[in-house]
Chain A
């Protein structure tokens, strides 16, 4: 695990509405994730996990606080300090609860498209997409449409897509919710492997308690606050 910080959040908060209708979805969330570290973010529904993830993912700006990626301040409160779309393209890989593959593209094209968007040539993009699918064990389904893949295979393709542009961080929102326990664990292990092999900082939002041993670090959120979590193998616990 590299000691350099992939993600730093400083006092993030998110407030929806105002006055009587004000809802605080997240308050004073400060987190550090190193390159090569895989972090789980636990918590019940409505605790603010997804709000935190979308703030870090530069999708939903925080009301206050800062987001630093690779040491660069990207968000300062709701203000973007750079082109978010370009930053997302280059630095962040996303994996969702559902695989969210583009239905009219084959598995390899779903991976290839994000590289083309980032400026890669078609041939180069396809070659790397096939390599990633090989690495994730779905090379033989490269030319199949998403509708022809199982849930686990789709999620592997989604992980390949998230890795395509060599992102420095990967954000996953309940990626195993639609999978059985065996396949869910496989996917969690995949994230750990990706973090360790590719040096990306990985944050996984999950309800799944069965594969927590895979993670280096656990965070827990409740009522918008980051809190302590017990690690089953006695690894680090974050507040």
Chain B
């Protein structure tokens, strides 16, 4: 008797929907390094998510410790797409130096940034 044993390993997705509410999605970014190596895939995945759900995305970056300009460009491109759909992208869980970087280049005036998920959903 031959027994075939298949093992499936689940690859973690780059972005995961943690909560799907009527007016927003809470989405986790499963990256330690958000950089030019994964920016294009991230942009394409988040844009597909916006096209499918047509609602505000609260993006949790609490796992991200390193970020570069290419990934920031992808975030802005995704925000523009969200605005064109009358949706939005808000950011939560930013590490202090990533928050400071956004402030340095004034992206804190472009994205709504919240300290916590609860703060991000207060007005919804």
A, B in one complex = no
Residues of A participating in the B interface, judged by any CB pair closer than 8 Å: none
